[in-house]
Chain A
Amino acid sequence: MGIPTTPVVTKAFKELATLNAAKRGMPHERITFTPHPVWGKTADELRAYVEGPDPVSGKPMMKEIVDALTQPLTDDEKKSGMVSVSTGPATYGPDTPKNLQQYYLDNGMTDYLPIIIPTEEAVEEMLTGTSHKPDEAIGKMAAGAYPPWSYTVRQVAVNAVMAGARPEYFPIILAIASSGMASLFSSTNSFAFAMIINGPIRDKLNMNYGIGALGPFAQPNATIGRAWTIMSKNLGNGGIPGDTYLGSLGNNLNYNNVVIAEAEGDSPWPPFHVQRGFKAEENVVSLFRGLGVVPGQVARGSSANENVQFDYQLSDLFSTFTGFFGALIIADPLVAKRLKEQGYDTKQQLIDWLYKNTTQTVKDYKSRNYAYLFDYPRALQGVEPYASWYKMPDDAVIPHFPRPESINIVVTGGQTNAYPQAGNLSYGVSISIDKWM
């Protein structure tokens, strides 16, 4: 801004604040720390914070603030210029496989499961999976609000090897990498990520979209998803606890994400990528992010009876979802077929019904964390529908999701039972896989 400024940050984010300031060019930013948390504290408790010490420096907090704004700058604080950042040598070793395995692990380059050592030979073999040049720059990735890192086809290949992928999977991994979307995000919210894979490549790679479609039962499903997380660490600098990852609980789905190969042949509806404007014969990966996935068995109305109504079940599942992320319905083909029998000839008809019939009161809406954090600021800016929603009386009834497009549907599974799952996941982008072959 060009005038003295000091941020106040809670102690829990000391490393994040310090390192982020350094990465953004102000390594000596004068940050004042306060005890953690601030949220939910009374006025008296916050007064005690303000009148007490900075828990990092031990100095009185308000003296820190006043000094931050008035003490003359040091020479270091006045510095300008560029600072290069190294990521180390191009190769490691030679060393034994065991030692190298440990080295990659100790340096935060893995998901803490054993990897395939990315030797030059293995990387060269991976590169045979694409016609693109190894040195082609394909994207940038950031694990949140950080300066993004850039990378080449070859660097993606290194990570694909580590994840255990085969060269024929590589175009999908490149497509994901080209999106710039990391599967590890800096937020405290412990986000989850998902992908839908459509097109003939599902069968070419023997992807699993039958029994256990979302489970650890097929190499492409397992390793393509794992590659996304390993890439997010190494190409996007994500997943460093306390710095580029702050998820309080973490998320088990981050190990290999939710990989969904759509059961296109068993679905009564057009596949997801066709909905997005691609041709059926095209190979496409679509990416999602959000909070996680819940099973349909917990929904009201999910007990066995003669008139199972999955639309009502799904609507019930959505009641705990944040509208910010929307919903991704993951329907077993049995569920999808039943929904079609109920009269939903298209996915859109079901989406429209769910949008219209999944509602909440304004009071309940306003009480939600995400509404306060993300919707309310937009309401203040006049962004709809939030501006109108925040003007309504507490007992007014509004849709649970801001728009029908917040809801998406994909069909997969082995038809051993008619169970849906639903992710509080929002659609991000669809990318051609063919482009990366």
Chain B
Amino acid sequence: MLKINRRKLLSLLGMSPAILAGVPADAQKPKAPQAKSSGGYKLVGVNPRGAPPAIQLIPMAPRLDTLEGKTVYLVDTGFHGSDALLKQIELWFNRNMPGVTMVFRRKAGPYAEDDPKLWAEIKAKGNAAIMAVGH
């Protein structure tokens, strides 16, 4: 399997690891090429990259004190095996945290499509959600 270097990936994105800390990303830029030989003529190359959008940081929702007595939605994205994995998660809760109410829902539409109707239902009737699975 291809090994991914996180720092290199972020660099390729034009993103700084500082983004992970939620601060401006000006510091990390691709390094300017360093001349390895002094012979021959020299050129200046133009940056071919487009303009990425600025990132709007989204504060995470406040967490619950406990799941006991709460309703947790299990959301199946539709990838193969998602429903089966979520079933095992539900069974784990039944065995280990029976005070948690589990509600299973398959997200409408193919996996990449939004499902605002379901999100509204979860917000109205649920206390937390677990989504699975990214493959």
**A residues bordering B, Cβ < 8 Å?**
1-10, 12-13, 15-17, 19, 22-30, 34, 36-41, 43, 46-47, 49-51, 62, 65-66, 69-73, 76-100, 102-104, 107-109, 117-120, 123, 141, 145, 147-151, 155, 158-159, 162, 188, 230, 234-237, 240-243, 369, 372-374, 376-378, 380-381
Contacts and interface: CB of A to CB of B under 8 A. Distances in A.
Contacts of A78: 59-60
B13 A85 contact: yes
Contacts of B96: 62
B67 to A, nearest CB: 6
B55 A72 contact: no
Nearest to B129: A5
Nearest to A108: B12
B5 to A, nearest CB: 10
A62 to B, nearest CB: 5
A50 B89 contact: yes
Interface in B29-68: 29-30, 32-37, 39-67
A80 B15 CA distance: 17
A37 B81 contact: yes
26 contacts: A3-B127, A5-B129, A8-B85, A8-B131, A9-B132, A10-B135, A12-B1, A39-B79, A43-B87, A62-B89, A69-B72, A77-B60, A84-B26, A88-B14, A96-B36, A96-B41, A97-B40, A99-B33, A103-B33, A149-B53, A155-B49, A240-B13, A241-B4, A373-B78, A373-B79, A377-B113
Contacts of A28: 20, 22, 60
Interface string B82-107: 10110111011000110000000010
Residue among A38, A91, A374 with the highest chain B CB neighbour number at 10 A: A38
Interface of B: 1-2, 4, 6, 9-16, 19-26, 28-30, 32-37, 39-67, 72, 78-82, 84-85, 87-89, 91-92, 96-97, 106, 108-113, 119, 122-123, 126-135
A95 B110 contact: no
A147 B109 CA distance: 20
A47 B84 CA distance: 9
Question: Does more than half of chain B's interface fall in helix, strand or loop, or is it mixed?
Answer: loop
B51 A149 contact: yes
Given A38-B82, A73-B60, A237-B13, 18 more contacts: A3-B61, A3-B123, A4-B127, A6-B130, A9-B135, A15-B9, A22-B55, A29-B60, A30-B60, A66-B97, A72-B63, A81-B22, A87-B50, A93-B32, A94-B44, A95-B45, A120-B46, A147-B52
A84 B88 contact: no
Residue among B37, B57, B110 with the highest chain A CB neighbour number at 10 A: B57
Contact of A235 (B9, B13, B43, B50): B50
Contact of A83 (B1, B29, B57, B78): B57
Given A65-B89, A85-B54, A10 B48 contact: no
